[in-house]
Each structure stands twice: as C-alpha cells, then as structure tokens.
C-alpha cells in the first residue's frame, strides 16, 4: 500500500514557470487523475514523480520513502523508485518483440529465466495479449501497443503506476474499452495510480479523485461529483462537463436580474457570472420568472438532444433536453441550479431551486 | 522533356566519372610493351593478367596491414563517437555546447595541420613506423567526425524510449547497449563504412608515420611512380587491387549507408 505526498514542488524551464509550489496527497490504492489543458504542467509533474525530471524545489514521498528533497539534496533516480510508467507515445522498444519489451524490466533486475517467463505470461494473460507476445511493436494495433506498454509498467509490480495521456492515441471506440480495463486492472491490483490527461471524459471515466491544474497551479482537487457539482471557479466549471456549462455575464441593469432574482448588488459586485449546466433546466409555459429562448439550432441525438438557443441580449446558450426542440421554436426556460462567480471568476454561491 | 534532360545529364556525369575507372581497368590488363606503344584510352588487344598477378602478390602485405589499421580504427572511433553522442543526448549543460563546438571545429580543421604534433605524439609512444601508430592516429583523427555524425543520428532516437528504460530500471550502459545502439544500427553502420573508406584512401597520415611503402595500400600504389617515367600498367593494377576492398564494403553495406544518409538528410528524423 502506497501513499504519495507531494510538497511544494516547483519547476522552471528557462523563462517559463511550469509548476508553482504544487502540494497534494494521494491515498493508497487511489486512482488519481491530474487534469489540465496543454501547457498546464501536468506532464512535467508526472515526469518529476517518475524521476525523469528534477524539480527546482520541494519534496516527494512515495510509500514513506523520501525520493526527492531539494533542500536536503536527496534525489532517488528513476531506476530506484519502483514506479511503472506508460508514456503517451507508449515508448515501446522497436527492436524487441512484445515479450522482450515486457521482460525488459525483469531482465534488468536480474531475475531467472523461468521467473521472467512466469511473470510475463501472467501479466500478458491479465491484459489479454498472450497471443501477440512474439510480434514486434510495429506489427501491433494501437490498443495492443498500449496493453504491452501497460504490461511492461505492471510486470515489475511497482508501488506507483504513472500513466501519461494513455488514451489519447487510441480511436474513440477502443478508448472506451481501454478506460474500462485500465480501471478494472487498477482496482483488482489495488495499485496506487496517477494518470495525466487533458480530456475530462478520461478523468471522469477512471478517476477516484481528480486534481485540476492550470498554468502550474492547482485549481481544485475533488471527486468527479464534487468537481462537477461545485466547481471552484469559472475555469473548472467550463473545463468539466460535456457539453460545457453556460456562462452568462450579468451586469447591474441586466434584464436577467429580475427574471432570475439574482442581483450583482447582493454580492457587492458590479458584474457577476452565472453558470448553469445545459441539462439543469426546466422548460416552462409562459411565466414571468423564465428566460425566453429562441431555438436557433438543434441536433437530434436520441436520449439527450442538444440545442443552441438565443436569449435576451443576443446571448447564446446550450440546452440539453429530453424533448427534441425544433429550430425556430420559442420556449421559456428556468435554470434549476445556478452557480454564481464573482468578477474574477471565483465561485461565491450556488443557488438550487426546489 | 524534363525527364530526358535529367537522364542525359546523369549519363554525361556518369561517363565523366567512369573515364578514369575505365582507363584504370584497361591499363591493368596491358603488358609492358603495350604500355609503351598504345594510347592510354585504347584497350589492349590481348588482355594480359600477368601484371595484375605480379602486383597482386606484392600487395598482400600492404593489404593486410591496411586492414589491421583501418577496420579497428573505424570501429573504435564510431563506438567512442556514439558514446559521446549518447552523453550529449542525455545531458544538457553549457559545457555540452562548448564541447560540441570544439568537436565541430576539430572536424573541419584540415588534418594535415595537426600532423606534426600527432607524429611527435605517436613517436613518443614508441609506435613510429608501426601499423599500431597509424591505427591510433586514425582513431584520434576520426573521433570528432564520428562523434558529430553519431550526434546527428542520435537525434532520431526518441527521448521517451530512454526515459522508459530509465523507469524500467536500466543503467546508463544498459540503456545505451540494449535500447539506443540497436536503434542507431543504420547510422552506426554508415559511419563505420564512411570511416573505413576515408582511412583506406588516406595517403598523408601513413606517409608521415611510417617508413617505406609496405604499411598502407596508398603508399604501395605510390611506390609504383618511378623517378624516370611511370610503368602505368603496374601502377594501375596496384590501384585497382587497392580500391577493391572499399568498393566491396560499400556495395555490400550500401543499403545501410544510404539509409543512414537519408536519416541525416531528414534532420535525423
């Protein structure tokens, strides 16, 4: 059982501050997802955890062993960290067959031939790649390559498994099954896992906990539900959820103030932003307290149908409804759950009606 | 029309290149009287293998000596060159940039300009007039170009692979031997072939470092230039025999050589 503690990790590349005093903790056996847009420093953080990169500042503890402490000049090289890593590019050794790729970490450890064979076969069996062991990486499909890479990371029974964008090189269909088996294997082995992704769907599919990071700073850490239902700020609110949340800027004399009964004044702001999920709405018959919406465009998708509507002040909103709304229709909507953000984007209130 | 022009150009250039080779080959098959009486471009009416056999037997020692000098020198330089290229690939620092610049300078300096100190160095090792002296001189002269070429080839090795091997627990040496070197294969081969041909055709280095004509093929070929008129049939025979080994190496390894050059052309990708 492995607990990971990260304290005050900072990293600079020339003039670019990739990470700024990052601190967090991963509980033993957790599937922890680091979610952020490109350039947010998430991959750098993963590389620091694996030991490929050295931080400029901070401390990392993996299973009660200090692997990095910049102040005390402690740096445990990647070879000795007992971590397994799957790279975005898979990084399979092109000159070795799948079997030798998986066996590589064990050969380096100096295990006996029989032991290596036993362990490679075992992990290949779990991942369902027993029949491709004699093939070279270039002869494998994307999904198989990923499984081989995962097998290579798991075969040495690491304390910590690191996954760098493991699904981004897979096409949409395989991606869903890949998420499923990665999650399943992680749960079965109970191995502490940190996954880095820019795709919120990946994060939601596998994560027990998600850490959102932006420009080298942690924005929010929480379970998928917490992030979705109580985003800390506009960034998280906008980043999470598909289709994305509707964000509307409200000024003091806005006609919406009366309709929604939300006034920037009561928060002592000149402007506020309100956010509501496309699905968190009710469609009402004519009523005073609803937003009149002209449907401009709609897509029939089956169970949930997406429409784009135009509301007062030429503002566009996205709606997700069970009923298919025809373009040109005029409806009246009422958001059920509204997040309120102050002028610099921090969430200050959430109003839930009935 | 454009295709035709291109073909014609290639044919003309090909002929220009082939003329000396043609003269060399027909010259090797002439006997002594024909050499003195027939024009140089005219082939012999009765090809004569005697000259070729005669020079061939006297070429045995120089050929063996040259092989002893050239093959190990090319291999050792390339291995050392790839080790330094790997080090450059792995570690970034200011010193690395400086060393790379020094290597580039060392590559472009005409080697003749450092022959005197090199000769003094070889003499101080007690290796003057030995094949080992020439061998060591070749290694010293070819390490910079080998490092430079291997550095360019090295940029085609994905860093992720090296990082993966690191995380897998491999030591630097294991990473180099098991992961990097196999990927560098074509680049490594073409560097070795390039250096073999360079060293094989080198005349100046053995000329300065050994006495007599027996310790390098180029010296032996040179020995057929007489002070009063040349017997060009013997000289041509010797040159033909001397140029066969690099030709054979180039033809058998050409595939790798060209693949390596293509890698270079694509910026090492």
Instruction: Give the SS3 label for residue A2.
Output: coil
How far apart CA A314 and CA A78 sit, in angstroms, is 55
Average pLDDT over residues A111-138: 92
Instruction: State the average pLDDT over residues B41-49.
Output: 78
Q: What predicted TM-score, i.e. pTM, was given to this entire model?
A: 0.83
Report residue B89 CA to chain centroid gap: 26
| CATH 1.10.3720.10, chain B: domain bounds | 59-265
Q: Is the peptide bond before A243 cis (omega within 30 degrees of 0)?
A: yes
B213-233: per-residue pLDDT in tens? 888 888 888 888 766 666 777
In angstroms, what separates the C-alpha of A131 from chain B's closest C-alpha?
A: 23
- Which region among A96-105, A172-181, B128-137 has the lowest average model confidence (pLDDT)? A172-181
B168 touches chain A (CB under 8 A): yes
When scoring A108, A156, A159 by the number of chain B Cβ atoms within 10 A, the one with the most, hence best to mutate, is A108
pLDDT of residue B155: 86
Torsion sign (Cα): A31, A36, A38, A42: negative
Burial class (CB in 10 A: 0-12, 13-18, 19+), A64: exposed
User: Mean of the pLDDT values across residues A40-46?
Assistant: 91
Q: Which fold has domain A244-352?
A: OB fold (Dihydrolipoamide Acetyltransferase, E2P) (2.40.50)
Give yes or no for residue B268 having a pLDDT over 50: no
SS3 at position A58: strand
- Average pLDDT over chain B reads 86
pLDDT score at A247:
93
Rounded to 10 degrees, the C-alpha dihedral B249/B252/B258/B264 comes to: -50
Can you tell me the ipTM of this complex?
A: 0.86
The residue-averaged pLDDT of A143-147 equals 89
Mean pLDDT of B9-35: 86
The CATH number of the domain covering residues in A4-235: 3.40.50.300
H/E element holding A227? Answer: helix A224-229
The pLDDT of residue A287 is 66
Q: Do A156 and B170 touch (CB under 8 A)?
A: no
User: What's the pLDDT score for residue B267?
Assistant: 47
Q: What is the pLDDT of residue B241?
A: 87
Buried b (16+ CB within 10 A) or exposed e, A251-266: eeebebbebbebebee
Given the structure tokens 């074509």, which residue do they identify? B186
State the average pLDDT over residues B235-258. 83
Average pLDDT over residues A263-282: 89
Burial (Cβ within 10 Å: 0-12, 13-18, ≥19) of residue A244: middle
Q: How many alpha carbons lie under 13 Å from residue B74 in its C-beta half-sphere?
A: 23
Quick one: CA torsion of B111, B116, B122, B128, rounded to 10 degrees? 110
Asked whether residue B266 carries a pLDDT value surpassing 70, the answer given is no
- Closest to B169 (Cβ–Cβ): which among A87, A89, A109? A109
Number of Cα atoms under 13 Å in the Cβ half of residue A132: 23
Compare all CA atoms of chain B with the CA of A89 and give the residue at the minimum distance: B160
Q: Which fold is adopted by the domain B59-265?
A: MetI-like fold (1.10.3720)
Return the pLDDT at A341: 93
Res A85: pLDDT: 93
Query: What is the pLDDT, as a whole number, of residue A261?
Result: 83
A192-250 tens-digit pLDDT: 999 999 998 889 999 999 999 999 999 999 999 999 999 999 999 999 888 899 999 98
Tell which B residues from 44 to 83 touch A, by Cβ distance under 8 Å.
Answer: none
Q: Which chain B residues contact residue A83 at CB under 8 A? A: 167
Chain mean position to CA A55: 23
pLDDT over 70, % of chain A = 99
Given CB atoms, is B166 within the 8 Å cutoff of chain A?
yes
Which CA distances in Å does A262 have to A249, A276, A277, A315, A344? 12, 13, 17, 17, 18
Q: Is A62 helix (H, G, I), strand (E, B) or coil?
A: strand
Contact B209, B128 (CB under 8 A): yes
pLDDT given at position A49: 94
The 10s digit of each residue's pLDDT in A307-332 is 998 888 888 999 999 888 889 888 88
Tokens 């209130």 belong to: A349
Per-residue confidence (pLDDT) for residue A193, from 0 to 100: 94
- Residue-level pLDDT at B195: 93
Q: Rounded mean pLDDT of B89-118?
A: 86
Look at residue A260 in the predicted model and tell me its pLDDT.
84
A172-189 helix and A142-154 helix, angle to the nearest 10 degrees: 20
Residue A87: predicted pLDDT: 92
Mean residue pLDDT across chain A: 90
Q: In sequence order, what are the beta bridge partners of A305?
A: A321
Residues paired with residue A347 on neighbouring β-strands, in sequence order = A341
Q: Where in chain A is the domain with CATH 2.40.50.140?
A: 244-352
**Partner residue facing B169 (CB), from A47, A93, A108:** A108
**pLDDT, average across residues B129-151:** 91
- Compute how many other C-beta atoms are within 10 angstroms of the C-beta atom of residue B158: 14
Whether B177 and chain A come into contact, CB under 8 Å, resolves to no
Is the pLDDT assigned to residue B253 strictly greater than 50? yes
**Count of CB atoms situated within 10 Å of the CB of A268:** 8
CB atoms inside a 10 Å sphere around CB B221: 24
How close does chain A come to B89, measured CA to CA in Å? 14
Q: Confirm or reject contact between B165 and chain A (CB < 8 A).
A: yes
């Amino acid at each position: 059982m492995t607990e990971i503690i990260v304290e005050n990790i900072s990293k600079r590349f020339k003039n670019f501050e990739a990470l700024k005093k990052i601190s967090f903790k991963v509980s033993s056996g957790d599937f922890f997802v680091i979610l952020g847009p490109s350039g947010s420093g998430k991959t750098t953080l993963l590389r620091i955890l694996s030991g490929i990169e050295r931080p400029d500042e901070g401390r990392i503890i993996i299973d009660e062993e200090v692997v990095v402490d910049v102040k005390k000049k402690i740096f445990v090289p990647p070879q000795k960290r007992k971590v397994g890593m799957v790279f975005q590019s898979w990084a399979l050794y092109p000159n070795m067959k799948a079997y030798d790729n998986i066996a590589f970490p064990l050969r380096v450890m100096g295990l006996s031939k029989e032991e290596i064979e036993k362990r490679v076969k075992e992990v290949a069996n779990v991942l369902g790649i027993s029949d491709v062991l004699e093939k070279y990486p270039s002869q494998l499909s994307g999904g198989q390559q990923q499984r081989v890479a995962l097998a290579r990371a798991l075969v040495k029974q690491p304390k910590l498994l690191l996954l760098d964008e493991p699904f981004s090189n897979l096409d949409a269909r395989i991606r869903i099954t890949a998420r499923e088996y990665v999650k399943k294997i992680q749960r079965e082995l109970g191995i502490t896992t940190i996954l880095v992704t820019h795709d919120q769907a990946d994060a939601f599919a596998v994560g027990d906990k998600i850490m959102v990071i932006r420009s080298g700073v942690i924005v929010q850490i929480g379970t998928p539900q917490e992030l979705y239902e109580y985003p800390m700020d506009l960034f998280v609110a906008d980043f999470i959820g598909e289709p994305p949340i509707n964000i509307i800027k409200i000024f003091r004399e806005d006609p919406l103030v009366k309709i929604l009964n939300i006034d920037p004044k009561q928060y002592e702001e000149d402007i506020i932003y309100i956010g509501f999920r496309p699905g968190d709405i009710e469609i009402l018959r004519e009523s005073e307290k609803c937003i009149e919406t002209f449907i401009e465009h709609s897509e029939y998708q089956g169970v949930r149908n997406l429409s784009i509507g135009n509301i007062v002040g030429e503002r566009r909103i996205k709606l997700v409804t069970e009923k298919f709304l025809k373009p040109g229709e005029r409806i009246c909507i009422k958001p059920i759950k509204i997040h309120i953000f102050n002028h610099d984007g921090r969430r200050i209130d959430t109003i839930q009606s009935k | 029309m454009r295709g035709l022009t291109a073909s014609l150009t290639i044919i003309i250039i090909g002929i220009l290149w082939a003329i000396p080779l043609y003269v060399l080959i027909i010259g090797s098959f002439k006997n002594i009287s024909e050499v003195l009486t027939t024009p140089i471009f005219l082939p012999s009416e009765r090809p004569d293998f005697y000259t070729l056999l005669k020079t061939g037997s006297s070429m045995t020692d120089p050929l063996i000596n040259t092989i002893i000098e050239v093959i190990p020198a090319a291999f050792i330089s390339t291995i050392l060159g790839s080790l330094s290229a790997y080090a450059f690939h792995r570690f970034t620092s200011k010193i690395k940039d400086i060393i790379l610049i020094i290597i580039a300078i060392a590559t472009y300096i005409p080697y003749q300009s450092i022959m005197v100190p090199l000769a003094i160095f070889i003499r101080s090792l007690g290796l003057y007039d030995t094949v080992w002296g020439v061998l060591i001189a070749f290694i010293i002269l070819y390490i910079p170009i080998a490092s430079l070429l291997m550095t360019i080839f090295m940029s085609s090795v994905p860093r992720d692979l090296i990082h993966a091997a690191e995380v897998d627990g491999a030591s630097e040496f294991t990473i180099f031997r098991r992961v990097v070197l196999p990927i560098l294969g074509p680049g490594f081969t073409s560097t070795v072939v390039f250096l073999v041909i360079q060293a094989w055709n080198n005349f100046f280095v053995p000329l300065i470092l050994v006495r007599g004509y027996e310790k390098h093929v180029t010296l032996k070929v040179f020995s057929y230039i007489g002070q009063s008129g040349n017997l060009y049939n013997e000289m041509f025979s010797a040159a033909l025999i001397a140029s066969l080994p690099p030709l054979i190496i180039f033809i058998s390894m050409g595939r790798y050589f060209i693949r390596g050059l293509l890698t270079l052309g694509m910026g090492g990708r």
